[in-house]
Amino acid sequence: MDPGNVTDDIIDLIASAEMHRQKIEKDSGLAAACNEALRRLHELLDREWDALEARGLDTRRSANIEAVAIEIKRVKKLLGNTRRNPSAGVPRPGQVSLQSAARPIPQNKP
């Protein structure tokens, strides 16, 4: 893909979706943020496909479609990381890991 062929409005919309994803991530978590970003990006992709079909072969529209598809893959990869390892080894507040918890020392009783 030649980034020079991607239209400015698509670059702006992709950037806007990413900024919105980051804001939602802070408020609601990564999974919710990625799902919202994917919804927005798929709407954008559908719009670009419709424009390409209506106007015929256009290298700028093709570049736009490719740019949106690349962003969708990136966000899906982020989302996939949360599904494989949702807690990522981070204990919840108030939880103590088994390794750091104090263990009683076994004593021999006569």
Give the relative orientation of helices 8-28 and 59-84 as an angle to the nearest 10 degrees: 10
pLDDT at 3 (0 to 100): 58
79, exposed or middle or buried, with CB in 10 Å at 0-12, 13-18, 19+? Answer: middle
Give mean pLDDT in consecutive 10-residue pieces for the chain, a chain of 110 residues. Answer: 79 96 95 96 95 84 93 94 53 44 51
**Distance between CA atoms of residues 44 and 38, nearest Å:** 10
Are the CB atoms for 10 and 64 separated by under 8 Å? yes
Going from the C-alpha of 69 to that of each of 45, 79, 84, 95, 106, the distances in angstroms are 7, 15, 22, 40, 59
**Distance between CA atoms of residues 67 and 59, nearest Å:** 12
pLDDT at 82 (0 to 100): 63
Residue 31, CB half-sphere, CA atoms under 13 Å: how many? 8
To the question of pTM greater than 0.85 for the whole model, the response is no
